[in-house]
Structure formats: structure tokens, C-alpha cells
Structure 1
């Protein structure tokens, strides 16, 4: 019995020693599998494995129990399982590394795919909103009805401005020519009757000045002894001043329209500009893009309204100032003609031509009685 117990102890010790001798080889196999997974090019480096130390194992006698051998076989069978687990873990580690790096490519692809439709949409939107013709006529046809109304009004204002300029230029030139001729005839006349005779065939306010003075002198001379030279001069001056004022008002007709256009046309054009820019921003919000090709047409239409306002206002202001100077010069000519007529009336009064005529009429009336 003692010998059999010793044999069992020795057999167990041999199995443990054999298993301990093979355990480092399993560790080295695991390290080798990891190095093979990490080494590029498929080259595997064989780790240094120390040589197994020979061990003296006493063989069991023939009469040893058979239960000791299965223990050794079980210990040997556990070694392949360890190596297979290590290999499976190494195999799973490699797909995990590949899986961690692989999601980067789909994300980049999704970003490029999401950006490409947006760029295509931005490229396609301007072609829908961009006018076919960017000339002034094309922008006018593509403008909103409010902006069109502003442009039409400013165009009509500009047309009437140039029409008034042509008509008034001819009228002022004709009036100045007549006034200069009448002034020359009055200045050369020695008496009021001679001036009226020289201006008999002429027309215009200057000729009317001399005729009006002659009529007032004739009417006042019928007063007889009640005739006052001061009163006559006052009445003549009043009639001449009224003629001058009427001539100035008649010649100034139409210039008020020029002043109105010059002062309001820029603001009307500014209104069209504001309205056009509002439409441009509305187009941006509807197109959902900030592309300049979408914004440019609306802003161009708005600026066209401002340009038309300036085109209408600037000539109107210049023409109004030109007419104001011309009318002032014409009124000065009428004032000179009126002064010349007053001098002729005063000269006639100083020559006592009116009083003797009144006395002679009285004497003739008394003789008739």
C-alpha cells in the first residue's frame, strides 16, 4: 500500500512538471500570433523559446492504476484550447481595428454627397431668376409694376422737361427780340405820340407800354382844370406796372413744373430703389440662396429707377435756373421800356401841352354858348 501511494504521488508530480514545461510554449505562441498580426508584409518573427529542460520521470510499474494516464491526457488537451483562444482573440482584434477606421470613408462620402446637391441647387437657381436681357429695356420689362410706374412717371417728367425747354426757349427769345426793338424805338422818339407812331406795327408788352401811356394821357386830358400832373404820372405808372407783371407771369408759365421735377424726381427715384431692393430681398428668401446672381437683377432694377430720377431732375434744375435768368433779363428790358415811356409823359407835361389843350376846349365851349 505504501509503495502504491508513492507511485501515485510520483505520477502526479510528473504530470504537473510536464504541464509546467509546456505552459511557456503556449505563452510564446500567443506572442507569436500577436507579432504576426502587427508585422507588415506578412513576415512572422519566431520568438526565442528556451529549450525544455529534460526531466526524469519515473515510469510507473505495470501494476499502477489506469486512472493516472487520463489526467495527463486531459492536461495535454487543454494546451490547444489556450492557443486557439489566443488566435481567436487576435483574429477579432484585427477586424475591430479595421471597423474603427472604416466609418471615416462613409462619413466623408455622405458629406460630399450632401454638398454636391446644394452646389447644384445654387448653380441652378440663378438661371431661373436672372433676366434674359440686362439692358435698360430688359430690366424695365422684368421690373415690378410699382417700379415700372415710377420709371414711366420719371420718363414722362423728363420728356415734358425737354419739351418745356424747347418751347420756352423760343418764346423767351422772341419776347426779348420784340422788347429790344420796342425799347430802341421808344428811346429814339422825341415825344409820346412819336413813340406810339413808331410802335404801331409792333406787338408785345413793350409796344403795349407806350400805347397804354398814350391812352391814359388822352383820358386824363379830358378832366380839364382838374388835371394834376402828379396824378397823371401815378396813373401811368400803375398801368405800366400791371403790364410788366402780366408779361412776366405769362413768360414764367411752365417753369414751376421744372422746379417741381427738380425737387421731387430724386425722391421718386429713391422710392423705386427702395421698392426694388425689397423685392430683391424677397427673392433671396424665396430662393434660399445668397448667390449674387439672384440679388443682382433686383438691385439693378432699383438702381435704374434712381438713375431715371437723376436724369429727370438734373436737367430740370439746370433749365429752370437758365429760364429764371432769362426771364429776369426780359423783365429788366420791360422795366427799361416802362421808364422810357414815363420820361416821355413827364416831358410832355413839362412842355404844358396838356393844359393849353384843356383851356382851348373851354374857350371853344364858351364861344359856342
Structure 2
């Protein structure tokens, strides 16, 4: 009877390969096992990248929800502002704790107006208008700074994470070559696990960097549009105040 030499692979090995856990030289090439079997330095790199990725997604969700809320509140405020009602009544409803940056700009201007409008004269009208415009600008800058918080972290992750992952890859490949030198074997079974662990660090770097870069560009664009909206409102409100001061003069 002739032996069959070209038969199908054993079912157990085939199932293992399909499951993504092919044992190579005593190593299982699954995501979890790649982390556990990695060198200490490569593990530290992986942990840093995983934490950076988690923090990146937390910032993305928080900023996205916040910007949507800011836009919705700005629409609501502008509807009330341009409805033709009394600005004093609107200021009274908003109170000392406005809910969004546009309301904060309005409140700061109205606060300065109420402090000085009762004793304004024709000679001091220009000074009052300049003070109100300066107060609105300072409030705007402060609110934009709050909205920009953590965005530099996204930019840092987007630019640095691939290089951090590359460092882990280089370190892992160095360990693989050390294994070759120690065992005097050039078999793929000796170097494959270390190379796989090293490349996994690069993959984690890209997983952290790509969303961070895309989110930074998108959120920066949204913030720029919102800042322009605040600038437009500040200019329009400043023109209204200027007309009222001219009427008084």
C-alpha cells in the first residue's frame, strides 16, 4: 500500500490557523499572547500606546459632544438675541452663569455696560465702547482656550505615536537577532515570534496615531468655525452698543 504524502493538513492545526493562533516555536501568534510574550521594553511601549489610544478616544467623544452642544446653545441664544426683545431682559435670564461661550461674551459686555452706562458722557462714550470691546475679546479668548484644552494632546499622539511604536519594533527585532546569535539557529521559528511582537508595537502606534490625527484636524476646523462665529457676534454686538451710545450723545 502506497503512503499518501500530499494529504490535507490535520484538522487541529487547520482550526488553530483559522483562529489566528498559529504556534511558532512555542509561541501563539494571537494579540493577547503577543503582548504577554513580548520583551519588557516592548510591553512598556505597548502599554503607553494603548493608554494613549484610550485617552485619545475619550477626548474625541468629549470634544465632539461638547462642540455639538455649543453649536446648539449658540443657535438658541442667537434666536433670543435677534428676536427683538430687551437685551436687559435677556441678560437677566442668562444671569451670572451663562451656559455657553456666546452667552458669556454677551454677559461680560452687558455687565460692563451696566457698570458704566449710567454715568457715561459724550466724552467718555468712546472709552466705554473700547472697554466693552476689550472685555468681549478677553472673554472670547478665555472661552476659546477652554475649548482648545487637550487638543494639543491629540496632535502630539498623532505625530509621536508612530515613532514610539517604531522604537518598540526596533527593540523587538534587536531581541530577535540576539536570539539567533544565542541559539545559532536561523530558522523562522526562532525569529518569527519576536518579529511579530515587534511589528505589533508598530501597529499599535498607527492605531493610536491615525484617529488622533484625523480627530485633531476635524476638531480644530470645528473650533475655528465656532471662534469665527464668536468674532462675528462680538462685532455685531459692538456695533449695537456703538449706536446706542451715539443716540445718547
Matched residues in 1 for 2:73 and 2:182: separation? 66
Provide the secondary structure at the position in 2 that maps to 1:289: coil
1:211 aligned to which of 100, 107, 113: 107
| Cα offsets for 1:175-214 (capped at 9, x unmatched) | 1211222223223336643553565596222122222222
1:160 aligned to which of 51, 55, 60: 55
| Aligned residue number for residue 257 of structure 1 | 153
Matched residues in 1 for 2:27 and 2:167: separation? 25
TM-score (norm 1): 0.57
| Aligned residue number for residue 59 of structure 1 | none
| Aligned residue number for residue 177 of structure 1 | 72
Pairwise mapping of residues 1-369 of structure 1 onto structure 2 (< 5 A)?
130-189=25-84, 192-193=87-88, 195-197=90-92, 199=94, 203-225=99-121, 227-352=123-248
| Cα offsets for 1:60-92 (capped at 9, x unmatched) | xxxxxxxxxxxxxxxxxxxxxxxxxxxxxxxxx
Whether contact under 8 Å (1:195, 1:210) holds in the other structure is no
Q: Which has the higher contact order (CA 8 A, sep 6+)?
A: 2
Q: Structure 1 residues 258, 161: closer, same or farther in 2, change over 3 A?
A: same
Whether contact under 8 Å (1:139, 1:301) holds in the other structure is yes
TM-score (norm 2): 0.83
Whether contact under 8 Å (2:27, 2:193) holds in the other structure is no
Larger Cα Rg: Structure 1 or Structure 2?
1
Larger CA deviation: 146-155 vs 165-174: 165-174
| Aligned residue number for residue 19 of structure 2 | none
Matched residues in 1 for 2:107 and 2:179: separation? 71
| Aligned residue number for residue 18 of structure 2 | none
Larger CA deviation: 270-279 vs 225-234: 225-234
RMSD: 2.2
Unaligned runs of at least 5 residues, structure 1: 1-127, 356-369
Unaligned runs of at least 5 residues, structure 2: 1-22
Matched residues in 1 for 2:178 and 2:109: separation? 71
| Cα offsets for 1:8-67 (capped at 9, x unmatched) | xxxxxxxxxxxxxxxxxxxxxxxxxxxxxxxxxxxxxxxxxxxxxxxxxxxxxxxxxxxx
Q: How many residues end up aligned between the 2 structures?
A: 226
Matched residues in 2 for 1:251 and 1:258: separation? 13
